[in-house]
Structure 1
Amino acid sequence: MIYWSLLLHMYQPTFQDSRVLRRIDKECYKPLLRMLEEHDNVKISLNINAVLIEMLYEFDLSDTIEILQNLESSNKIEITGTAKFHPILPLIPQRESEHQIEINEEVVKNEFKQWKRGGFFPPEMSISSQVAKYIREIGYKWVIMGGIACPVDWPTDQIYT
């Protein structure tokens, strides 16, 4: 049996122009989310940071948040944890890494009532043993990362949960 999982990443920088975000929302986010609504047998992991959530509200795109909330409440999406301002976690002080994760969680918990720590998306998939240890300690079950982050042969015959 082959196991395959899809993780989508929704991100915009804090300085994104409102016209650009509206176009991205119209041409990308909403069509994708509506497609997920229409298919009962689809479940994905989705990374959306608190900055984008706040921007969607700021630019009167709260209907996109409502779609996300409906998808989450119907168990079609799992919202991953991340760091709020998309920092490269191994390159900033550990306490700031922890703070970025905590302030992201505050927004996500407020918006997605079923949210709990499951998966974690480190910005740019940049991870260190110190960051990995912290996210495990606070209860995350899995983290996505590239094979380059693993210093030994990458095991391909195991499923980690």
Structure 2
Amino acid sequence: MPAHHALVLNLHQPPGNLEHLLADQTWEAKEILFALDRMPRSLWGQEDLARVHLSLSGTLLETLSSPDFQARVYGIVDCGKLLWFLQNQQIFDILGTGYYHPVLPLIPAADRPEHLRRWQGIARHLFWRAHFSGFWPPEMGFSMELIPLLRRFGYRYVLVDSEHVEPLVPMSWQELRYRPHIARYGDEEIIVVVRDRELSDAQESGMDPGWFVHEIAERTRWCDFPPLVTTATDGENGGWFRNVTDGANYWSAFYRPLLDMIRAGKANLRPSFIHAYLDTYGAHGEVQVATGAWNTGWHHGKGFTQWTGSQTQRDVIARYGKVSERLHAWLDVSPAARDADTRDADDSKRLDDAQWHLLRAETSCNLFWGEAWCDRAASDLDVAEQVLDQLDAEEHRL
């Protein structure tokens, strides 16, 4: 039986990063924009076979949809057309994620819903749809306690890394990796789709389509079920995706030749959308998923060492909790207290501003580069605390 291949690409740029690169490192900004624009252009006319899952962070969508940014890059990439092309549901399936791309298990639970809510707000507007079936946890940072939250926002399945999946019923190695499963937390359950870490590493660094077909055939040889092989990487980082030379990047050197092999009957492989696979074959077996992330460079994904390795990083995470607790003491008042509240519109606006700075401080990139970007998180947290200090002082005077 054919193996089903689910291709997943994560696309994220931190707040203001593309604008900064455009001013100071113009060629790098162009490489990123070309890599984004290359996706739909490479797949025109491939609707019969091409199937790509995309996770686009809220900050990236915010930049691409900004009229000012669109005007700056017009002549390099037409961002309006790019967003329009990504609405092609025959080729692209958009996955939900967090707006500011936080490592969700590392931020306060009270802040997580707003990241998901804000992302759905901008994505529904730009992609003209109300429902998103799958969820991409930023940095694949997942913990079981996220399940009720994801279900509350309507997600059917979540992607997790193969390193962290543990069976609760007997399963073969092939079943564990190449079948969707059920994970439960309390009374809630969700389907988990397992990313093959080794094949994803190959996808990130560059691979030959013939090797890929052979490797999948060997890995799924003993499957007595239709296997779902999921590969997931960044889609605009690294030379393999950024290379502008035709025949030397992911789309022209690998993906389109792979589609040609399938059409010619030389590959027993079927590019598939995850939701379509689930509709046909469902999920089997219960698993639990250990808390962790995907592998990035030297980081293996266990313990979130990439984001928590130094005392400075841990101090920033501790500040997330303190600022969040203070903010939600203001935001999470009862309806009766809210009716009796004397705060004016200006106070509400200031609270919105404090929340925006807190959510932006929680961007994963602020902790990803060791301590290099921790000051960005600290600056946003400082602003949020200043607002809260003013509100506390005014409340005390009353």
Which bracket does the TM-score occupy, shorter chain normalised?
A: 0.7 to 0.9
Q: 1:113 aligns with which of 120, 128, 135?
A: 128
Q: 1:136 aligns with which of 140, 143, 151?
A: 151
Q: 2:83 aligns with which of 65, 68, 93?
A: 68
Aligned CA-pair RMSD: 2.2
CA–CA separation in structure 2 for the residues paired with 1:77 and 1:33: 9
The answer to whether 1:123 aligns with 2:138 is: yes
The residue matched to 1:140 in structure 2 has which SS? coil
CA–CA separation in structure 2 for the residues paired with 1:149 and 1:70: 35
> Residue by residue, what CA displacement relative to the aligned partner does 1:125-145 show, whole Å, maximum 9, x if unpaired?
001111123112322111111
The answer to whether 1:48 aligns with 2:67 is: no
Cα deviation for residue 65 of structure 1 reads 4.3
> Residue by residue, what CA displacement relative to the aligned partner does 1:15-71 show, whole Å, maximum 9, x if unpaired?
312414343102x11122211223122121101112101112332158334333334
The residue matched to 1:6 in structure 2 has which SS? strand
Q: 1:156 aligns with which of 173, 177, 186?
A: 177
Higher mean C-alpha deviation, range 112-121 or range 52-61: 52-61
Partner of 1:101: 116
Contact 2:83 2:126 in 1 (8 A): no
Structure with more of its chain in helix, by fraction = 2
Q: Are the structure 2 counterparts of residues 3 and 113 from structure 1 closer, same or farther at C-alpha, using a change threshold of 3 Å?
A: same
Q: 1:30 aligns with which of 26, 29, 37?
A: 37
The residue matched to 2:3 in structure 1 has which SS? coil
Q: Are the structure 2 counterparts of residues 74 and 147 from structure 1 closer, same or farther at C-alpha, using a change threshold of 3 Å?
A: closer
The TM-score with structure 2 as length reference comes to 0.37
The residue matched to 2:14 in structure 1 has which SS? coil
Cα deviation for residue 157 of structure 1 reads 5.5
Partner of 1:5: 6
CA–CA separation in structure 2 for the residues paired with 1:13 and 1:136: 27
CA–CA separation in structure 2 for the residues paired with 1:145 and 1:112: 25
Summarize the alignment of residues 71-90 of structure 1 with structure 2, pairs less than 5 Å apart.
71-90=86-105
Higher mean C-alpha deviation, range 119-128 or range 108-117: 108-117
Partner of 2:382: none
The TM-score with structure 1 as length reference comes to 0.86
Contact 1:127 1:149 in 2 (8 A): no
Contact 2:103 2:138 in 1 (8 A): yes
Cα deviation for residue 108 of structure 1 reads 0.3
The answer to whether 1:57 aligns with 2:65 is: yes
The residue matched to 1:45 in structure 2 has which SS? strand
Q: Are the structure 2 counterparts of residues 97 and 25 from structure 1 closer, same or farther at C-alpha, using a change threshold of 3 Å?
A: same
The residue matched to 1:3 in structure 2 has which SS? strand
Q: Are the structure 2 counterparts of residues 75 and 48 from structure 1 closer, same or farther at C-alpha, using a change threshold of 3 Å?
A: same
Contact 1:81 1:119 in 2 (8 A): yes
Give the letter for the 1:38 counterpart: G
Structure 2: which 5+ residue stretches go unaligned? Answer: 23-27, 182-277, 279-398
Cα deviation for residue 94 of structure 1 reads 1.4
How many residues get paired? 160
The residue matched to 2:120 in structure 1 has which SS? helix
Between the aligned residues of both structures, percent identity stands at: 24
Q: Are the structure 2 counterparts of residues 84 and 157 from structure 1 closer, same or farther at C-alpha, using a change threshold of 3 Å?
A: closer
